[in-house]
Structure 1
């Protein structure tokens, strides 16, 4: 299953481990885990903490079990994180495919390339869905840069060489 929530990309991958280490070793319910992330990892609020939990589960560094979330005791490298990001986060494959040409593309350009992949129900639940999803595309692009799948320059984003 592909996950949708993606928190804003941090300046370095170290933030993944800081947030992951705030998750419990023994599964706890989402509300308890969110509280831990806010208190122990300086995540700003419960909504952002929830996005982090779902995202870290997609990366394979937090386990999402029936009984709740728990941290995984392994530290995959950047390449493994990038593979998990590409395989388990909704719209990442399409976002990266939109960067296939050699020219840089803005988040708005990439959104236009993938907008038809946004589920119909997502479009109907908010008036500003295009702006909302352009932001979600930009988050995916920023994480792609952090994970070595894309590069950023003055004109936008392009696929890593």
Structure 2
């Protein structure tokens, strides 16, 4: 299953590791996990903490169980995270496919390439859904850079 929520990309993977470390080893309800994440990291609010939990589950860094979330014990290197990102995050692979290795593309241009893949119900629940999803594409591109799948230039993003 692919997940949609993606938190803003941090400056380094150490932030991802710190958020993951805040998640308990024994499954706890989402509210408890969000509280731990906000108490033990620089994540400011519950909504962002929830996005982190879903995102970490997409990466295989935490497991979502019937009773809540728990940290996995698997060591994930940058390559593992990059592979899980393209497989487990909705539109991540599509955003990468929209990039070129020599011609930089903006987040807006990448959004235009993938906009038809945004589910109909997502389009109808927001008045300004293109702006919302352009930001979601931007976050995917920023994570792609952090994970070594893309690079950012003055003119936009390039496939690595």
TM-score by length of 1: 0.97
Which residue of the partner structure matches residue 133 of structure 1? Answer: 133
Which residue of the partner structure matches residue 121 of structure 1? Answer: 121
The equivalences for 1:55-74 within 5 A come to 55-74=55-74
Unaligned runs of at least 5 residues, structure 1? none
Task: State the 4+ residue runs in structure 1 displaced beyond 6 angstroms.
Answer: none
Structure 2 distance, partners of 1:32, 1:131, is: 32
Structure 1 distance, partners of 2:70, 2:101, is: 40
Unaligned runs of at least 5 residues, structure 2? none
The equivalences for 1:12-161 within 5 A come to 12-100=12-100, 102-160=102-160
CA shift for structure 1 position 75? 1.9
Structure 1 distance, partners of 2:150, 2:48, is: 24
Q: How big is the alpha-carbon RMSD for the aligned residues of Structure 1 and Structure 2?
A: 0.8
> How many correspondences in the alignment?
160
